[in-house]
Structure 1
Amino acid sequence: MAVSVRVHPSPKCLFDEPVQVRVSGLSPLQQVTMKASLTDEKGEAFRSFAFYRADGQGELDLSQSPSLGGHYTGTEPMGLFWSLTPGTPFTRLVKKDVASSPLYVNIEVFDGHGTLGWLPEQPLAASINERWFMKEGVRRIPVREGRVRGTLFVPPGNGPFPGVVDVYTIQGGLPEYRASLLANHGFTTLALAYRDYDDLPKYVMNFDLEYFEEAVNFLRQHPKVKGPGVGAMGISKGGDLVLSMATFLPDVVAAVATNGCIASAIFGLCFKNKLVCPGLGCTASHIQIADSGVADIIKSTDEVNKDTMIPIENAEGTILFIVGEDDKNWKSKYYAEEAIKRMKEHGKDNYELLSYPGTGHYLEPPYFPFCFASYHAVARTYTMWGGNAKEHSFAQEDWWPKVQAFFQKALNK
């Protein structure tokens, strides 16, 4: 029998869906090396390797067989995907064109246990997994309404659907991949730009919460959105922005803050021509440089106090805090604990907490490769994000469906 690699249930899937990789036609107990590779839109190559042994029938199922070495060990059905490593250090995998093309993951099997730097010239067999970001019927609609700049993703069907505003990091631009993936699961999702995109300013002193209010109102009034309230989700700087939205905008009835801050980090926040949250500063002299040459900035952010905290106790909606306990960007666990402490002091219990050990700052949807360090838009240098690959990747698989369940419960009352 010829050796073959098969991806189940289909060679085509959504990016956040798991697949089962099987190899058949091997010799009984044959030692093999599995390799996965992809090339991103910038031409950056990502690769992963793992060493396996076939069973007595010459078959290999990555959902049942343990890796004996390589980029990961143990039984990890999606290990080849989350352990993909960039050829250029400190590079994150980012998908910009979510509508017209997938990411192609080439999966190959080689005879023997090679090394991470050497494999036989020809694989025994290969297969390609197409990982898409929009399922058939999802609509992608560019938004340029008033001041609002972004992209709306509308699920297929009559609707209306729960509405969610997706606010990303301070890096600027308009990342759409998380919003597009969420729309696949039945949410009308607005990927909202707020810096360095289209005619939005590249440099700001303070952010204007009325801009975010305008975006919330745009989403609420859309015919494919089930009201009266909407949700908001954000990571990093986006995390404190959605906490502010939940605090000051009553129509935001559910908020997910992933590794956010309880203060308005770096930039102040204005609302109705008033500074409602001063910017939490940072001290550059507290930045440390690791042996790898990458900056460790966790001690650079100034300490929060009651005067700098977002008055989160005023939020009427439900808030889900998501924390990577090994976050090296800032003290996410401490910030979430301080926020919850403040809410409890005011008799509030409208919060939930997901806290993940061994997990860093950049929590993405499932199966995005782990990134320990990359370029930081504010620090303007390569910085650590923290975490380790296996535990971080477990967190990414765990938080994503829980966020969907959280929004479904809060927005379908």
Structure 2
Amino acid sequence: MAATLSLEPAGRSCWDEPLSISVRGLAPEQPVTLRAALRDERGALFRSHARYRADPHGELDLARAPALGGSFAGLEPMGLLWAMEPDRPFWRLIKRDVQTPFVVELEVLDGHEPDGGRLLARAVHERHFMAPGVRRVPVREGRVRATLFLPPGEGPFPGIIDVYGVGGGLLEYRASLMASHGFATLALAFYDFEDLPKDFNIVEVDYFEEAVCYMLQHPKVKGPDIGLLGLSLGADICLTMASFLKNVSATVSINGSAFSGNRHIHYQQTTIPPLGHDLRRAKVAFSGILDIVDIRNDPVGGCENPGMIPIEQAKGPILFIAGQDDHCWRSELYAQIASERLQARRKERPQSGHLEMHRPLERHLICDIWRDTDNLCLTGT
């Protein structure tokens, strides 16, 4: 009997949706290698592989069978997807057009040689970033430059503003996925996009306040509050918004610092100075990449540093997700300092925990925070 490669859901699924992978029609205990590959929108190839052994019935289910080596090892049902690495060194997988899918090719090869075995089965699967019924609405309202993603249905829906970090432009792939889980999500640009400033030299909170007002006035957004989601510099912007603006119910900070790094933060009569940095402390890692984790003037005074964002003023819960292998800045240290400040100023004891986080988990953590009631500090690898 010929081997067959089965995927569930078949044909297509959302990028953050679990994908079940199984093989049938193998010989009992047959050694095989599974490979996955996709090309991004600029033609860069991403690949992964893992070695497996069929069970006594000639079947293989990645939800029950541990990988014996390759790009990963152990029981990882979706390892073939999260472990894909680029052929181009240091190339990052980014979805730039959420209206088209990534096309993933999966193959089953005989034996444990990833490039030399006989092809036994093959399947093609589309991984989409917009679930059926999700609506994409470009926003050019006043100064606000953004894209609003609306879930299927009449609404109104709980609202979220999603802010990315250094690099500028407008990235939509996280906001589009959040919309499929019932959130009206605004992917917000703040520099180097259309007529926005080319450079970002000062955090003018007024611009982000305008985005909050846009969301709260939208007929499809359920008030009176919204949530904030930010990454890196975007996380610090979200923490600033939560500290100074009304109508923020909860905030998720992914690798934020709760400090102003290299830019002044300005809102009305308040200015928060940057920590500053010294490029002479940069190092070149063995891989050839510049390691800048030491260049910032890390706070000596901890949670009492005058350059810290006054996060204790935020009225809603805050979830800190801090990568322990972040070589841009000391995310775990900053999350701890932020937690200490919240505990000292709010008289609350934050919860904390550790986990090994692959990208599909990010969405579950984010969706849960708006139903929570406590301040959280969650650190992960």
Q: Is this a same-fold pair by TM over 0.5? A: yes
Residue 325 of structure 1 and its aligned partner are, at CA, apart by 2.2
CA distance in 1, matches of 2:123, 2:154: 37
User: Which residue identity does 1:119 align to in structure 2?
Assistant: G
Q: Which residue of 1 aligns with 2:289?
A: 294
Residue 4 of structure 1 and its aligned partner are, at CA, apart by 1.0
- Does 2:76 correspond to 1:50? no
Distance 1:253 1:352, change over 3 A: farther
Distance 1:171 1:95, change over 3 A: same
SS of structure 2 residue aligned to 1:217: helix
CA distance in 2, matches of 1:70, 1:18: 21
User: Which residue identity does 1:198 align to in structure 2?
Assistant: E
Q: Which residue of 1 aligns with 2:377?
A: none
Structure 2, unaligned runs of 5 or more: 374-381
Residue 204 of structure 1 and its aligned partner are, at CA, apart by 3.0
Is the Cα contact below 8 Å between 2:249 and 2:370 reproduced in 1? no
CA distance in 1, matches of 2:192, 2:17: 31
CA distance in 1, matches of 2:287, 2:62: 33
User: Which residue identity does 2:137 align to in structure 1?
Assistant: I
User: Which residue identity does 1:295 align to in structure 2?
Assistant: L
SS of structure 1 residue aligned to 2:223: strand
Q: Choose which of 257, 278, 298 in structure 2 pairs with 1:303.
A: 298
Alignment of 1:21-170 (within 5 A): 21-99=21-99, 101-115=100-114, 118-120=115-117, 123-170=119-166
Q: Which residue of 2 aligns with 1:338?
A: 337
Q: Which residue of 1 aligns with 2:365?
A: 402
Structure 1, unaligned runs of 5 or more: 357-390
Alignment of 1:157-306 (within 5 A): 157-272=153-268, 274-304=269-299, 305=301, 306=305
Cα displacement string for residues 104-149 of structure 1 (whole angstroms, at most 9, x for unaligned residues): 110000111105xx324x5211001211011111110000000000
Distance 1:244 1:351, change over 3 A: farther
Cα displacement string for residues 353-398 of structure 1 (whole angstroms, at most 9, x for unaligned residues): 5544xxxxxxxxxxxxxxxxxxxxxxxxxxxxxxxxxx342xx344
Is the Cα contact below 8 Å between 1:323 and 1:354 reproduced in 2? no
Is the Cα contact below 8 Å between 1:322 and 1:354 reproduced in 2? no
CA distance in 2, matches of 1:214, 1:16: 30
CA distance in 1, matches of 2:349, 2:362: 19
Is the Cα contact below 8 Å between 1:320 and 1:354 reproduced in 2? no
Aligned length: 369
TM-score by length of 2: 0.93
Residue 262 of structure 1 and its aligned partner are, at CA, apart by 1.5
CA distance in 2, matches of 1:189, 1:347: 29
CA distance in 2, matches of 1:397, 1:98: 17
CA distance in 2, matches of 1:143, 1:353: 37
User: Which residue identity does 2:49 align to in structure 1?
Assistant: F
User: Which residue identity does 2:274 align to in structure 1?
Assistant: G
CA distance in 1, matches of 2:6, 2:325: 36
Residue 399 of structure 1 and its aligned partner are, at CA, apart by 3.8
CA distance in 1, matches of 2:43, 2:78: 23
CA distance in 2, matches of 1:106, 1:93: 16
Higher relative contact order (Cα pairs below 8 Å, separated by 6+ residues): 1
TM-score by length of 1: 0.86
Cα displacement string for residues 187-229 of structure 1 (whole angstroms, at most 9, x for unaligned residues): 0000000010011111132121000000000001111111001
Distance 1:96 1:351, change over 3 A: farther
Is the Cα contact below 8 Å between 1:322 and 1:355 reproduced in 2? no
Is the Cα contact below 8 Å between 2:343 and 2:350 reproduced in 1? no
Residue 329 of structure 1 and its aligned partner are, at CA, apart by 1.6
Cα displacement string for residues 147-180 of structure 1 (whole angstroms, at most 9, x for unaligned residues): 0001000001111110000001111000100000
Is the Cα contact below 8 Å between 1:268 and 1:280 reproduced in 2? no
Residue 63 of structure 1 and its aligned partner are, at CA, apart by 0.9
The root-mean-square deviation of aligned C-alpha atoms, in Å, is 1.6
SS of structure 2 residue aligned to 1:403: helix
